[in-house]
């Protein structure tokens, strides 16, 4: 098994959030409870799904219901991003990396991003909103794909 990634050889983009006390504390708490980073990665889909449903539902509601569903979608998006952050931190800084970790890091994102972007197009209420959502989802898949150089 390859050595776990550390801060110095991590492939993660530098994020100021990673260096905040609350993020380090939460990642250490999860690592201390043996929460697997792959499970945290899969949780991203668990937050993206209700976020997508909220966006789709918002397209058919009045302003009060629409606002509530947009807030739910925004919360789900933030929780999905939090899972992304924590999975990487638990794997890298917690020494819990695995051979399958790269797959668990990338595949949920490749599913969760379009799952949220496409319904956002429908939620716009614009005549061409669905097409814009599908275009955004497809472009996300294209721009997010990074073949491994190793």
Task: Compare 57 and 142 and report the one with higher pLDDT.
Answer: 57
What's the confidence (pLDDT) of residue 143? 79
What's the confidence (pLDDT) of residue 108? 72
Residue 115: half-sphere exposure toward Cβ, Cα within 13 Å: 21
> What percent of the chain shows pLDDT beyond 70?
78
Q: Do residues 58 and 133 touch, judged by C-beta distance below 8 A? A: no
> What percent of the chain shows pLDDT beyond 90?
35
pLDDT tops 60 at residue 17: yes
The domain 33-144 is placed in CATH, from the list 3.40.50.300, 1.20.120.1760, 1.10.10.10, 3.40.50.720, at 1.20.120.1760
Q: Do residues 52 and 74 touch, judged by C-beta distance below 8 A? A: no
pLDDT tops 70 at residue 11: no
Whole-number Å distance between alpha carbons of 87 and 27: 8
Task: Compare 67 and 97 and report the one with higher pLDDT.
Answer: 67
DSSP H helices in 1-150: 21-32, 37-58, 63-92, 101-123, 129-144
Average per-residue pLDDT in the chain?
82
pLDDT tops 80 at residue 107: no
What's the confidence (pLDDT) of residue 104? 66
Q: Tokens standing for 125?
A: 């209420």
Task: Supply the pTM of this predicted model.
Answer: 0.77
Task: Label residue 50 by pLDDT band (50, 70, 90).
Answer: very high
pLDDT tops 60 at residue 150: no
In the chain, domain spans? 33-144
């Amino acid at each position: 098994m390859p050595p776990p990634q550390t801060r110095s050889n991590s492939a993660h983009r530098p994020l100021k959030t990673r260096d905040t006390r609350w993020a380090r504390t939460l990642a250490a708490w999860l690592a201390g409870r043996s929460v697997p980073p792959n499970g945290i990665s899969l949780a991203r889909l668990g937050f993206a799904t209700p976020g997508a449903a909220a966006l789709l539902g918002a397209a058919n509601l009045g302003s009060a219901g629409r606002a509530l569903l947009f807030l739910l979608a925004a919360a789900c998006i933030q929780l999905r991003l939090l899972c992304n952050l924590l999975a990487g931190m638990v794997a890298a800084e917690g020494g819990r990396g695995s051979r399958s970790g790269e797959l668990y890091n990338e595949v949920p994102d490749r599913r969760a991003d379009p799952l949220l972007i496409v319904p956002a197009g429908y939620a716009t209420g614009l005549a061409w909103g669905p097409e814009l959502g599908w275009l955004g989802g497809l472009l996300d898949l294209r721009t997010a794909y990074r073949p491994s150089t190793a």
